[in-house]
Copies of this chain bind each other. A is one copy, B any other.
């Protein structure tokens, strides 16, 4: 798209922090790029970058403009997707930012199911904690975000939000594996592995522990659930995870026990998009599929989980 080339160049400069670096990235000479930016600033009526001794940086006006640019590029992509859709071919690309917990089971299954019906649609999956996911939406780097306990809901449209209780994860031979009803204080009596603070489940655990006399004393803090899953098989430790990230029925090495809502608040798994933005056909349909899957998942849990 030629008419948007200058805008993309501006974005590249903003990202590189230097005209010369951006020129190299975009495979043109710095003099050409420099002139385009000067030309744009002139017809725009205001400078976009502040010139520093070591390069350039967006000024406030530039920040406003870059937001416009990203939104326009994304919207043009939406139009092209809709056009492709009405001409018959179900093509498109979906970019989704989602929590780590969804990587092993949920997202692969969902994407496979969607692609079974629409083979022309491709996906980008970005593993992001809740803050990063929101940042991705704001910068139009993702179309959708599916994360636990999002922080700043104001800037986004919430397409769906379902509750997930926190589960304790342990080896089959763990002393607590026999107990059907598990309390958080029982878990904290054993060595435990928790994620860092930016992860949603840790946020819920911190809230819960703050009301208790016991303290959290993790033997390991890891931002990989994969690490946690494997670690609890070495030492008799306890980890924590949402059920959507677990193979609840068919795991032959681990045992999972839900913690009561009275002990640890449920997590809100939330599907969001940038406020007011129109999604491409593929993204909108995929969002619908996610929503209906999560809804029926949530209903099933309610039935089988009388604690809720």
List the interface of chain A (C-beta within 8 A of B).
Answer: 1-7, 39-40, 43-46, 60-61, 64-65, 67-68, 71-72, 75-76, 78-80, 82-84, 86-87, 275-278
Q: Which residue of B lies closest to A78 (CB)?
A: B68
Which residues from chain B contact A278 at a C-beta distance below 8 Å? 276
A99 → chain B closest CB, angstroms: 27
Query: Looking at the complex, which one of B60, B67, B79, B275 makes contact with A68 (CB distance below 8 Å)?
Result: B79
A245 to B71, CA, bound (A): 41
Which residues from chain B contact A4 at a C-beta distance below 8 Å? 3
A61 to B89, CA, bound (A): 14
B75 touches A61 (CB 8 A): no
How many copies of this protein are present in the complex? 2
A279 → chain B closest CB, angstroms: 12
Which residues from chain B contact A79 at a C-beta distance below 8 Å? 64-65, 67-68
Can you name 25 A-B pairs with beta carbons within 8 Å?
A1-B43, A2-B43, A3-B3, A3-B4, A3-B5, A3-B6, A3-B40, A44-B83, A45-B83, A45-B84, A46-B84, A46-B87, A60-B86, A61-B87, A64-B79, A64-B82, A64-B83, A65-B79, A67-B79, A68-B76, A68-B79, A72-B72, A72-B75, A275-B276, A276-B276
Query: Looking at the complex, which one of B60, B68, B80 makes contact with A44 (CB distance below 8 Å)?
Result: B80
Q: Which residue of B lies closest to A48 (CB)?
A: B83
Which residues from chain B contact A80 at a C-beta distance below 8 Å? 44-45
What's the dominant secondary structure at chain A's contact region? helix
B43 touches A83 (CB 8 A): no
A-B pairs with lowest CB-CB distance, top 9: A276-B276, A61-B83, A68-B79, A3-B6, A46-B83, A64-B79, A72-B72, A64-B82, A3-B3
B61 touches A86 (CB 8 A): yes
A162 → chain B closest CB, angstroms: 25
Q: Which residue of B lies closest to A72 (CB)?
A: B72
Interface centre among A5, A7, A67, A86 (most CB of B within 10 A): A86
A229 → chain B closest CB, angstroms: 42
Which residues from chain B contact A46 at a C-beta distance below 8 Å? 83-84, 87
Which residues from chain B contact A43 at a C-beta distance below 8 Å? 1-2
A11 → chain B closest CB, angstroms: 13
Which residues from chain B contact A7 at a C-beta distance below 8 Å? 3
Which residues from chain B contact A64 at a C-beta distance below 8 Å? 79, 82-83, 86
Which residues from chain B contact A83 at a C-beta distance below 8 Å? 44-46, 61, 64-65
Q: A3-B5, A46-B84 given; name 15 further pairs at CB < 8 Å.
A: A1-B44, A2-B39, A3-B6, A3-B7, A46-B83, A46-B87, A60-B86, A61-B87, A64-B79, A65-B79, A67-B79, A68-B78, A72-B72, A72-B75, A276-B278
Which residues from chain B contact A87 at a C-beta distance below 8 Å? 46, 61
